[in-house]
Amino acid sequence: MAVRQALGRGLQLGRALLLRFTGKPGAACGWGRAERPVPAAGWGRGERRGPSVGAAAESRRLGLGLPERYRFFRQSVAGLAARLQRQLVLRARGAGPGGRAVFLAFGLGLGLIEEKQAEGRRAAAACREIQAVFTQKNKLPPDPLDTRRWQGFRLEEYLIGQSIGKGCSAAVYEAAVPSVPQNLELAQSTGLLAGRRPESFPQEENEERAPQAPAFPLAIKMMWNISAGSSSEAIFSTMSQELVPASRVALAGEYGAVTYRKSKGGLKQLAPHPNIIRVFRAFTSSVPLLPGALVDYPDVLPPRLHPAGLGHGRTLFLVMKNYPCTLRQYLRVKTPSPRLATMMTLQLLEGVDHLVQQGIAHRDLKSDNVLVELDADGCPWLVITDFGCCLADKSIGLQLPFTSWYVDLGGNGSLMAPEVSTASPGPRAVIDYSKADAWAVGAIAYEIFGLANPFYGQGGVHLESRSYQEAQLPALPASVPRETRQLVRSLLQREASKRPSARVAANVLHLSLWGEHILALKNLKLDKMIGWLLQQSAATLLAERLTEKSCVETKMKMLFLANLECDALCQAALLLYSWKAAPLCM
């Protein structure tokens, strides 16, 4: 805004103040006690929550930061007016040079403050409108594999193939529903390599190589039941964390599961997200003797299947989409380009941000718990899986009371954030998990960019989250963009308060990937940023309509615009500007 326009607006406000203080009739004062100031629109997440209930209540309900800041400004201006009232009135009436200078300076300051507030209101409103459009566009359609045409609540309904892999608490097998041939046709005709293991992806050492067989679009996960008992209610209660990413119909086939979900009330159900696994069916059944069971996990089988087995006769089964490989397997044979690796890291941050917004912490992020599928161009799409260690309690959210050493802190101690690994129990001790998964993404980024994970003790560098110093972090390759290297270092800061949130970190990568020209401006204003966002919105909508199946880059842009919030975007831009001015640390 030009100085003349700011001065004009300030003079109007100053004149109202002057008339108010001199007691002249007809004065329309926007700063007095009679008229309650209206807070400006905030910079928060816009329409993510419920409907509006008035401007002031809306701002407070959304947790927006600027209304408090506005009140500070208004109180400051009111205090300044009170202190200068006598001098202002006397000098203004006398029309002396000093009075005119004070009057003009006071009016100019008020005009600049008012214009800054108006700019923030315009930016916040535009972000909310863009977000509303892409939230609708970004809603996940029902998965063709998750249909009510097949029941899928009995193990006998599935054709189970070869072993896909096993972890510390379950084994996963490829599966199909022979009674629904359209599912098999879908898996064979889709552009994604779902349901079959390409020869280019190696199997684990203890796996037998599966021959090329008809596509298995599903994967079935059999939990190992050693201590949960054999009743459905006990199994669902003990393994409830596995049900967090379950779909609405996943538990509809078993009375015990439905009863547990309705009665407990403390378990959160995760809303769908394209970077997070969906569980299509969950049910209990007798433990069968599946291929490779006597070799891979004989100790957890029930005694009727193995004399030395310690497992119970029934256990939990989870049915989900079959993915070609894990992130760890993919990175063994593929070396993504720096730009592609940046987009892969961005996908993890988008998934983690969705978890945080739902009040859920994964607590076991690692490359083995990230699945990968490929689009028609061979570009990887990442999906976070395995929620057995997650924190998803409605009563505590992301703040876990740490009263004793018996409290479960999650899995994978190597990638446990410093605020978790160094916590000490006590009567009032609480662990904040809001940025713990983002820290794990920073560690996994080393693997994505072609280096050994320093927290695994590989590649000659061994760091521990309890004791490492940021100066000990190894440098990423010089081919990695500067902004990405700075972000990884920022995600791995020991102090959680200095670490960016997953949303801000994701916005940093979005801006560095697609906003180079807007960031190159020396004087970046919110109005220019909004203009760029409108251009991105139009281009993304056009690209999404022109292609039958959106590429990974288009999907990421749609996620960015669906999660758009002005405050987090400005924080990301400020981070990028500060990194440009500061020397590169890694």
Q: Which are the catalytic amino acids?
A: 364
Give me the residues paired with residue 384 across strands: 276, 370
| Residue spans of beta strands (DSSP E) within 249-324 | 279-286, 314-321
With tokens 């593929």, the residue in question is 334
With tokens 């609708």, the residue in question is 136
Closest among 70, 68, 105 to 84, alpha carbons compared = 105
The DSSP secondary-structure symbol of 273 reads: -
The runs of H, that is alpha helices, within 54-174 are: 55-61, 66-94, 97-137
Please state, in angstroms and rounded to a whole number, the distance separating the CA atoms of residues 576 and 44.
20
Question: What are the Cα distances from residue 160, in Å, to 176, 291, 368?
Answer: 7, 9, 22
Residues 6 or more apart whose CB falls under 8 angstroms from that of 583 comprise: none
| Residue spans of beta strands (DSSP E) within 167-217 | 170-176
Contact 358, 268 (CB under 8 A): yes
H or E element that contains 371? strand 370-374
Task: Count Cβ atoms within 10 A of the Cβ of residue 518 and give its class: 0-12 exposed, 13-18 middle, 19 or more buried.
Answer: middle
H or E element that contains 545? helix 526-546
Q: How many Cα neighbours within 13 Å face the side chain of 557?
A: 21
Task: Count Cβ atoms within 10 A of the Cβ of residue 476 and give its class: 0-12 exposed, 13-18 middle, 19 or more buried.
Answer: buried
Task: Count Cβ atoms within 10 A of the Cβ of residue 2 and give its class: 0-12 exposed, 13-18 middle, 19 or more buried.
Answer: exposed
| DSSP codes joined into one string, 485-538 | HHHHHHHT-SSGGGSPPHHHHHHHHHHHHH-HHHHT-SS--HHHHHHHHHHHHH
The DSSP secondary-structure symbol of 52 reads: -
Task: Return the structure tokens found at 483.
Answer: 């902004």
552 phi/psi in degrees, rounded to 5: -60, -40
The DSSP secondary-structure symbol of 50 reads: S
Please state, in angstroms and rounded to a whole number, the distance separating the CA atoms of residues 159 and 177.
6
Reduced to 3 states, what is the DSSP secondary structure of residue 252? coil
